[in-house]
């Protein structure tokens, strides 16, 4: 049980980095879906306005979602107890790996 407590304490001291990496991987996996949606949304505009909207919407939407996801994960992981923190972190990383494999990112 000492190993579980030690590992949970190690994860707890690195929650910021864990939340950041989960957010980065999630944005990497979901990024193409966001950009294709924004392309379809701005298709009817002329090329300059489409380009400006595309850059603005990608910047705003992806940065807003990244901020919300990062802060939510950091808060949520911080509330988990020792064993559940280990299981949730492992489950989130495995889930992201399965999504990346399904989309042929890895």
Residues 57-105 have pLDDT tens digits of 778 888 898 999 999 999 999 999 889 999 999 999 999 999 999 988 7
Look at residue 41 in the predicted model and tell me its pLDDT.
Answer: 80
What is the H or E stretch that residue 58 is in? helix 47-78
pLDDT (mean) for 8-17 = 92
Indicate whether 14 pLDDT > 80: yes
**Are 16 and 74 spatial neighbours (Cβ–Cβ below 8 Å)?**
yes
- What lies within 8 Å, CB to CB, of 81 at 6+ separation is 8
Q: Which two tokens stand for residue 62?
A: 């992806």
pTM of the model: 0.82
Give the Cα separation of 71 and 76 in Å (integer): 8
Q: What average pLDDT is seen over the chain?
A: 89
Look at residue 59 in the predicted model and tell me its pLDDT.
Answer: 83
């Amino acid at each position: 049980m000492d190993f579980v407590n030690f590992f949970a304490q190690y994860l707890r001291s690195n929650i910021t980095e864990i939340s950041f990496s989960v957010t980065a991987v999630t944005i990497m996996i979901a990024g193409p879906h966001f950009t294709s949606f924004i392309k379809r949304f701005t298709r009817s505009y002329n090329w300059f306005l489409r380009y400006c909207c595309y850059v603005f919407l990608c910047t705003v939407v992806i940065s807003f979602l990244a901020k919300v996801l990062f802060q939510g994960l950091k808060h949520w992981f911080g509330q988990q107890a020792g064993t559940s923190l280990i299981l949730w972190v492992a489950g989130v990383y495995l889930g992201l790996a399965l999504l990346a494999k399904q989309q042929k990112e890895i």
